[in-house]
Amino acid sequence: MAEVALPPPRHRNLLRSALLGLSWGWLLALVLVPNLLVLAASLLNRDPTHFLQLPLTLDSYRRLLDPLYLRVFLDSLALALATTLGCLLLGYPFAWALSRIDGRWRPLLVFLLILPFWTNSLVRTYAIKQLLAANGPLNGALLALGLIDAPLELLYTQGAVILGLVYLLLPFMILPLYAVFEDLRPELLLASRDLGAGRLATFVHVLIPLTLPGILAGTLLVLLPALGMFYVADILGGARVLLVGNIIKNQFLDARDWPFGAAASILLTAAMALLLFAHRLARRRLRDGEAP
C-alpha cells in the first residue's frame, strides 16, 4: 500500500489506548475466541442429548478421511473450481472489454453489474430455477423454435448448481479484474507486439502476468464462497449435489453431529488458509520478478 507514513503522535494518549482496545476487543471476542471454540468442539465426542461430551478425540477428523466424505469433499471442490473457471472465462474478457469502453459509460456499466445484488440472492436463485425447469421459459422457447423435441434436463443437475453459483459470484471475479485492467498501460501490449511477439505469446507472457493479482483476488472471492453456499445446491441441485456447506449445515442442524460438523468447518478454514498463503506467495514472487 502506498501510504504516506504518518509522524507518530507526540504522546501516548487515552484515545490511542481506547481505539486499540476497541479494535483488539472485537477481533478477539468475535473472531479469535469463536474459532477456538469450533476447534475445541471438533476435538470432542458426539453426545446424543447434549451435542458434545468429553473425552477429547480425533475421531471426527478420522471420519473426514472416510472415502465417502473424502469423495464428497473432492466433488464439492471440483464444483467450486468449475464455478471459478466459469467466472474467469466469462469475467476476464468482460473486464478487459469494460476497461476499453468510453470512460463516460463505464460507471453506468459497473453499476449495472452490481444492480442485481439489491434483489435478494435467494430471489435470484429462485428465478433461475423457474427459468431452467422443464416447463419453464427456456425449454419452452427452445421447443417452440424447434431446436429440441423434448425438454432438456437442466434443473437438478450439477450444471444447474454451477450456473447458479457463477451467476451469483461473477461480479466478485469481474471487479478485481476490472481494477487491474484499468491500471494496465496498453503501451505494454503494443510494445510486446512491436517486438514481434504473437498474440498468444503476448497474452501468455505479458497480459496474464500483469493481471495475475486480479485473477488471484477474483479466484479467492469466488472459490471460497462457492464451497459454502448451501442454499444454491439445495434449490438448484435437488438435494443430490452436496457442497461442503451442505454437509456442515446438515451436521449442525439435522444430524446433530457437532464434532463432525466442526471438523468439516475447520477443514474449510484450513483450505482458506492454504489459498491465502498461495495468494501471498504468488504476489511476492510477482513483486520480486518485477524488481530486477
Partner 1 sequence: MKPLLLAGTITLALIVAGCGADREPQVLNFYNWSEYMPQEVLDRFERETGIEVVYTTYDSNEALYAKLKLLDESSQYDLAVPSTYYVSKMGREGLLAPIDHGKLHGLDQLDPQLRDQAFDPGNTYSVPYLWGTAGIAVDAAAIDPAGITSWGDLWRPEFRGRVMMTNDVRDVFHVGLKLLGHSANSTDPAQIEAAYHKLAELLPSVRTFNSDAPRMPYLEGEADIGMIWNGEVVTGRADLPTLTYIYPREGAALWLDSFVIPKNARNPEAAHRFIDFVLRPEIAALISTEIGYATPNLAARKLLDPAVAADRTLYPQPEDLVNAEFQQDLGDAATLIYHHYWDRLKAGR
Partner 2 sequence: MSGRLPRLWLALVYLLLYVPIAVLLLYSFNDARTGYRWGGWSLRWYRALFANDTLMDSLWNSLALAAAAATLATAIGALTAFALHRYRFRGRELMHGLLFVVMMSPEIVLAISLLALFLLVGLQLGFTSLLIAHLTFCLPFVVITVLARLAGFDARLLEAARDLGASEARALYTVLLPAILPALLAGWLLGFTLSLDDVVVSTFVGGPSYEVLPLRIYSMVRVGLKPEVNALGTLLLVFSLLALALSQLLLNKQKS
Write out the residues near partner 1 by the rule CB under 8 A.
48-49, 51, 68-69, 71-72, 133-136, 139, 151, 153, 155-156, 238-240, 242, 252-256
Look at residue 60 and give the partner it binds from partner 2, partner 1, none, a contact being a CB closer than 5 to 8 Å depending on partner kind. none
Q: How far apart are CA 129 and CA 227, in angstroms?
A: 20
Residue 111 interaction partner, one of partner 2, partner 1, none, beta carbon < 5-8 Å per kind: partner 2
Cβ-contact 52, 259 below 8 angstroms: yes
Burial grade of 83 (CB within 10 A; 0-12, 13-18, 19 or more): buried
Minimum CB separation of residue 192 from partner 1 in Å reads 46
Q: Which three cell numbers stand for residue 257?
A: 453431529
- Looking at residue 108, its amino acid is L
Q: Are 212 and 282 in contact (CB under 8 A)?
A: yes
Residue span 55-74 as binding mask against partner 2, x where in contact by CB under 8 A, dash where not: --------------------
Of 79, 162, 216, 235, the residue at the interface with partner 2 (CB under 8 A) is 235
| CA 157 to each of CA 24, 44, 240, 250, 253: distance values in angstroms, whole numbers, following the listed order | 45, 36, 8, 20, 25
Q: Which of residues 74-133 bind partner 2 (CB under 8 A)?
A: 90-91, 93-94, 96-98, 100-101, 109, 111-113, 115-128, 130-131, 133
Q: List the interface residues with partner 2, window 156-195 (CB under 8 A).
A: 167, 170
CB 80 within 8 A of CB 275: no
**Is residue 264 a contact partner of residue 248, using CB atoms and an 8 Å limit?**
yes
Q: Which is nearer to partner 2, 224 or 241 (CB)?
A: 224
The residue count for binding partner 2 (CB under 8 A) is 89
The nearest distance, CB 239 to partner 1, in angstroms, is: 4
Nearer to partner 2, 94 or 156 (CB): 94
For residues 82 and 272, give the distance between their C-alpha atoms in angstroms, rounded to a whole number: 17
Among 249, 257, 259, 260, binds partner 2 (CB under 8 A): 249
248 binds partner 2 (CB under 8 A): yes
